[in-house]
Amino acid sequence: MATTQQPAAVVENPLLEGLHLRRTPDPCVLVIFGASGDLTKRKLFPALYSLALRRLLPEQFAVVGVARSEESDDAFRERMKAAVQEFGRDEFRQEAWDWLAEGTHYVATEFTDEGGENRVVSVLNELDEQRGTGGNRVYYLAVPPDAIAPLVREIGKRRSSKGWARLIVEKPFGRDLTSAQELNEELQGYFDESEIFRIDHYLGKETVQNLLALRFANGIFEPIWNRQFVDHVQITVAESIGIEGRSAFYERAGAIRDIFQNHMLQLVALTAMEPPIEFTSESVRNEKVKVLRAMHTPGPKHVVRGQYGRGYVEGEEVPGYREEPGVASDSLTETYVAAKLFVDNWRWADTPFYVRAGKRLARRETSIAIEFKRAPHPPFEVTEEGLRPNVLVVHVQPDEGVSLEFAAKVPGQGLTLRTVHMDFLYGGAFRTGIPEAYERLILDCLLGDGTLFTRSDEVEEQWSLVDAIVGFWKRDRPAFPNYAAGTWGPAAADELMRRDGRSWRRR
Amino acid sequence: MATALDSIAEIEHELAFARMDDRGEPYQRTSVMTHVAWVPEAWVEAAEDVLAGLAERHPSRTIVLFPQPHAEDGIEASVQVDSFPQGEGRKVCTETIRVRLGGARAAAAASVVQPLFLPDLPVFMRWRGLPPFEERYFDELVGVVDRLIVDSTEWPGLPEPYTSLAGFFDHVAVSDIAWARTSRWRAQLASLWPGIADVRRIKVTGTEAQACLLAGWLRSRLRRQVDLEQEPSDRLVGVEVDGKPTPFPPGDPPHPSDLLSDELERFTRDPIYEDATRAARM
């Protein structure tokens, strides 16, 4: 009987079973455009150092900083070392730094200068030879918005067929729907959507991801996470700082483009989204984009904008926005925005999402508060302050954690009730320090995982909503400033809630 | 012990009192587990060292049992609440209950610790030295915990005790710190695939436990006889495969606190370890 020879079976390595090996990124070079900027110093290098310290970077790895200012490799390394020591979350260990510094280089050039870009390419090719990085590239565009498109063209033109390439793009991603679509088109002309990683650093925060864990890993919350049980949702992104010298950017962006278009709408999407089938980039982003699509444009009555005037923050007198260096004395740029949004779907129809974001507010706080409907008929004596509804608060920053407000009996005779808090503090439950958002996001990009990055259709849906809001603003001239620094924003924002018989949460 | 407590009720009362700060406000606690440590006299010093490194990483209740079967009958306990700064004004709070089990109480330890477990949270038990596999009190303690953590480096007469340990695999999930110490070397040996598939003999420079477990692991994974030669050393510093030295794995060996801490984050059985112990005697 004739026998057919079987092809040699590929035998899997039985020794790997149960080893729980970490997934390690492929060898690659990270190219940071805009390496002389604040982001590189304050966030990117401290994050790279933390990853190096934990041996999460590939053994064959290099960083190339690219910027206009003249600087030698050694001077750049020294400056980044000082930045790691100043801004890093980990203790400084010389051997970890030495490993990272050994593969760190710097190229001084104009971003769109032909000769300069060719020099970048030749440095990258040399590094491939020296460090075995195999032509794999991550291009981090920490550059002003205007520089993104030309830079991508130059990178795209020089794209090698060897290895893979990924692009990290910092916000703002466009300044309206049209410019965002144009930019998407430009990027997608050279890179596949799966190679484009649009950073919204809020998505890299542990507590934002914990919101998904809270919702989808606990049986008790999801059944009541809907219009039947939730009265409304309040999302606050408050900063006590001013514009910190970023007047050129802020005058063009304002609160709506700086915070609302990206961080705020992402928080709304994560709060309102349906459970994804699996925690993969496409599943999660598909669900988020459905929420963004279902959000209808609030009318002008439901949006409040504000600008801070002179006031006191933590006891210190601070200037008004129009007094900040580089800001026009009659500037109409908003530093505060509040809105009442609706998500028109089966789960959330008619449930308002009140959102507010601003600068120079009373304190730094980002939180998502789910306020549940009141008990229909409490048969108890209540105190003067009344029986408050249950509120589940996800504290994104600071004091990362979750708290639940509920009623409890005051000890003694009778049945008097008071609202109490049950708190879970993230840092009090887990031994590992909370990683910085940039650590997680850079590592995810090196691994090619886009789950925590924003997809082109999400960005465009976000801009559609913002464009509609900004459209109303073109027709009026607000009386700015309309709130004092160190307060919780303009009176109109309180009125927005009061009209509905509600109020912003007290802190 | 600062305050001698001789009943569970007194321990509970002392815990409630210790949870108040100077102003009488309760510390806010988030607990993730109960950690029981069985520490016979000979292991007291080493156990305290490891506990000191562990406390701030796991907001847990730790119950340290000091068996003293030849002492006077009774229990004597003390309670300590510590908080460790975690930045931004936050602290991790841990509770440590030290219980001396005198006389017959040592033989009924499960009934002492069970009322002190934090409700609904996993219970890990670290056993110092060779467990008394045949003793009823050991069986009872294993019956009330979720995970038993041993360090077979502390055991005499290897590899025979692995046979006794294997008898408990169906009752409790087991972690072995000696096994955890081999993980870097296992990853290194795995990287030698497929060349290592035909290995016939290994020479391990390390403890007896590490040598037995590495040999057992290769035998069980590769389903073949692998002869073992051990060169005694208090640390695992070398493995030769058929006479050829394996490159040293990257990174530093972990600290004992880190090893125990990592084991406290595992909740399920480790079938690879279980197979390795069963094959350790071949």
Chain B environment of A11 (Cβ under 8 Å): 194, 197
Q: Which of A10, A11, A13, A15 to mutate to test the interface with B (most CBs of B within 10 A)?
A: A15
| Sequence-separated (6 or more) residues with CB below 8 Å from residue A363 | A238, A240, A507
Report residue A180 as tokens: 């965002």
As annotated, the active-site residues of A are 263
Query: Average of pLDDT values for A106-113?
Result: 81
- Residue A67's nearest CA partner among A80, A48, A52, A86 is A80
Higher-pLDDT residue of B9 and A66 is: A66
Please check whether residue A138 is in contact with residue A432, taking contact to mean a CB–CB distance below 8 angstroms.
no
Q: Provide the sign of the torsion angle of the four alpha carbons A50, A51, A52, A54, taken in this order.
A: positive
Orientation angle between helical segments A456-473 and A177-190, nearest 10 degrees: 160
Q: How far apart are the first and last CA of chain B?
A: 47
Three-point CA angle A116, A197, A32, nearest 5°: 30
- Residue B46's nearest CA partner among B106, B101, B126, B128 is B128
Chain A environment of B91 (Cβ under 8 Å): 428
- Residue B229's nearest CA partner among B196, B201, B197, B250 is B201
Contact flag A18-B272 (C-beta cutoff 8 Å): yes
Q: How far apart are the first and last CA of chain A?
A: 85
Cα–Cα dist A41/A104, whole Å: 14
Determine the residue of chain B that is closest to A425 in CA distance.
Answer: B30
Cα–Cα dist A162/B199, whole Å: 37
Report residue A147 as tokens: 């520089």
Least confident of A174-188, A340-354, B21-35: B21-35
Cα–Cα dist A492/A259, whole Å: 20
Chain A environment of B261 (Cβ under 8 Å): 431
Please check whether residue A468 is in contact with residue A177, taking contact to mean a CB–CB distance below 8 angstroms.
no
Q: What is the pLDDT of residues A172-195, one digit of tens each?
A: 888 899 999 999 999 999 999 999
Higher-pLDDT residue of A498 and B47 is: A498
Average per-residue pLDDT for chain A: 88
A78: which DSSP letter? H
**Helix, strand, or coil (residue A300):** helix
Predicted local confidence at residue B59, as pLDDT = 64
Q: What is the pLDDT of residues B52-72, one digit of tens each?
A: 666 666 667 889 999 998 998
Query: Average of pLDDT values for B188-192?
Result: 91
- Residue B137's nearest CA partner among B95, B178, B97, B107 is B107
Q: What is the DSSP string of A365-392?
A: EEEEEEEEPPPS---SEE-TT-PPPPEE
Cα–Cα dist A197/A192, whole Å: 10
Report residue B252 as tokens: 């530093």
Looking at residue A432, its amino acid is: T
Please check whether residue A335 is in contact with residue A306, taking contact to mean a CB–CB distance below 8 angstroms.
yes
The side-by-side arrangement of strands in the sheet containing B201-206 is B227-232, B201-206, B238-241, B244-245
Cα–Cα dist A374/B30, whole Å: 28
Q: Is A479 on the interface with B (CB under 8 A)?
A: no
pLDDT of B91 over the 70 cut:
no
Report residue B70 as tokens: 């030849």
Which ranges in chain B belong to alpha helices (H)? 8-18, 44-54, 109-113, 136-144, 160-166, 177-181, 183-190, 208-222, 256-263, 271-278
Cα–Cα dist A452/A435, whole Å: 15
Measured over all CA atoms, what is the biggest interatomic distance in chain A, rounded to whole angstroms? 96
Query: How many percent of chain A have pLDDT more than 90?
Result: 56
Q: What is the pLDDT of residues B100-117, one digit of tens each?
A: 999 988 888 888 888 888
What's the pTM value of the predicted model, to 2 decimals? 0.78
Q: What is the pLDDT of residues A195-240, one digit of tens each?
A: 999 998 888 888 788 889 899 999 999 899 999 999 999 999 999 8
Give residue B242's Cα distance to chain centre: 33
Contact flag B28-A19 (C-beta cutoff 8 Å): no
Query: Average of pLDDT values for A295-303?
Result: 85
Query: How many percent of chain B have pLDDT more than 70?
Result: 86
Residue B35 CA neighbour count, 13 Å, CB half: 25
Report residue B182 as tokens: 């081999």
Give residue A257's Cα distance to chain centre: 13
pLDDT of A21 over the 80 cut:
no
**Residue found under tokens 């000696």:** B178
A317–chain B nearest CA distance, Å: 24
Please check whether residue A58 is in contact with residue A132, taking contact to mean a CB–CB distance below 8 angstroms.
no
